[in-house]
């Protein structure tokens, strides 16, 4: 199954908010057919407006009916089957792009370090008001993204924050990182937040956790789900994305202000995270703004 799965690339409707949302009507598939297994790093929320369909993940098959909603976690294999036409709205959202100083304490939940976010579907099946709240949030995002009236980005960003709060409140409570481990690593994450523009070595944060170098590397990876260097790069790339869309600076200056004094390294790492160069990223945004 996994050998044939397709890793889908999502072209965002907004490069800073990093989402894609669209309304689509699909014809039935041939009898007993499933579409191809696929996955993407974005969390997906599917609103089934009309019709019925099945969605299968690696461990669950969901039967969806009119006015239903389904959450599929980041990088979760899934496929669908439908015997009649369906009309749906689909949102694909990069959760990492939504993290800020208010949400970083909930990173173990939002980054799915313990359980995929589709575990929230169990809550939705038993709590009509929660499902209705999420459904209305997604309809609101779709309407704002379609109209693109002045201030739509603020409206969408606010809706995403409400959506994250629903994830946090209703996701499974178990985590692979204990509260003590999370509190122990918070000073390291706070240090990165305050100093990412400057050179940071692993040795610079060891005193914050009182751990030996090699043990810290393994400990951070286990708790956060990525290496310390990858986390540092991710924070710097998020800053560079903001500067690319809001400041008329050269690539070299943006690299320096984001913590990449070497412009070649900046471009190489940016491309690793965005599948395009910083210049291409900026150009795509300006082209969309002029439409």
Element (H, E) at 53: strand 53-57
Alpha-carbon distance 122 to 136, whole Å? 19
Residues in CB range of 54: below 8 A, 6 or more apart: 61, 62, 63, 64, 80, 81, 82
Alpha-carbon distance 194 to 264, whole Å? 24
pLDDT of residue 113: 62
pLDDT of residue 285: 62
- Find the radius of gyration of the CA atoms of the chain: 20
pLDDT in tens, 211-260: 999 999 999 988 877 789 988 998 898 888 878 877 889 999 999 999 99
pLDDT of residue 291: 43
pLDDT of residue 141: 97
For strands 38-39 and 6-7, give the pairing. Answer: parallel
Partner residues linked to 61 by β-bridges = 56
Element (H, E) at 136: helix 128-147
pLDDT of residue 2: 46
Instruction: Report the candidate in 196, 185, 195 with the shortest Cα–Cα distance to residue 219.
Output: 185
Query: Residue written as tokens 């945004």?
Result: 285
pLDDT of residue 4: 64
Alpha-carbon distance 78 to 76, whole Å? 6
pTM of whole model > 0.75? no
Alpha-carbon distance 168 to 134, whole Å? 13
Residues in the chain where the model's pLDDT stays below 50: 1-3, 174, 288-291
Alpha-carbon distance 20 to 81, whole Å? 22
């Amino acid at each position: 199954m996994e050998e044939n799965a397709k890793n889908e690339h999502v072209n965002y409707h907004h490069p800073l908010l990093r989402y894609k949302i669209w309304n689509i009507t699909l014809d039935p598939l041939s009898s007993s057919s499933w579409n191809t297994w696929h996955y993407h790093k974005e969390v997906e929320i599917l609103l089934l407006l009309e019709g019925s369909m099945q969605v299968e993940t690696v461990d669950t098959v969901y039967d969806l009916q009119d006015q239903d909603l389904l959450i599929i976690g980041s990088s979760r294999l899934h496929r669908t089957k439908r015997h009649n036409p369906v009309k749906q709205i689909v949102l694909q959202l990069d959760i990492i792009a939504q993290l800020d100083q208010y949400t970083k304490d909930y990173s173990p939940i939002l980054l799915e370090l313990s359980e995929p976010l589709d575990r929230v579907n169990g809550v939705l099946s038993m709590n009509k008001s929660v499902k209705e709240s999420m459904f209305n949030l997604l309809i609101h995002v779709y309407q704002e993204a379609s109209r693109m009236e002045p201030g739509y980005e603020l409206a969408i960003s606010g809706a995403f924050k409400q959506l994250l709060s629903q994830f946090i409140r209703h996701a499974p409570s178990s985590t692979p990182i204990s509260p003590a481990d999370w509190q122990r690593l918070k000073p390291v994450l706070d240090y990165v937040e305050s100093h990412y523009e400057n050179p940071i070595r692993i040795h610079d944060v060891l005193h914050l956790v009182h751990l030996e170098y090699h043990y810290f590397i393994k400990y951070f990876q286990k708790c956060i789900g990525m290496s310390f260097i990858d986390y540092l790069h991710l924070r710097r790339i998020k800053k560079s994305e903001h500067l690319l869309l809001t400041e008329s600076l050269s690539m070299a200056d943006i690299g320096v202000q984001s913590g990449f004094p070497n412009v070649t390294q900046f471009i190489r790492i940016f491309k690793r995270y965005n599948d395009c160069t910083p210049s291409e990223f900026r150009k795509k945004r300006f082209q969309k703004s002029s439409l």
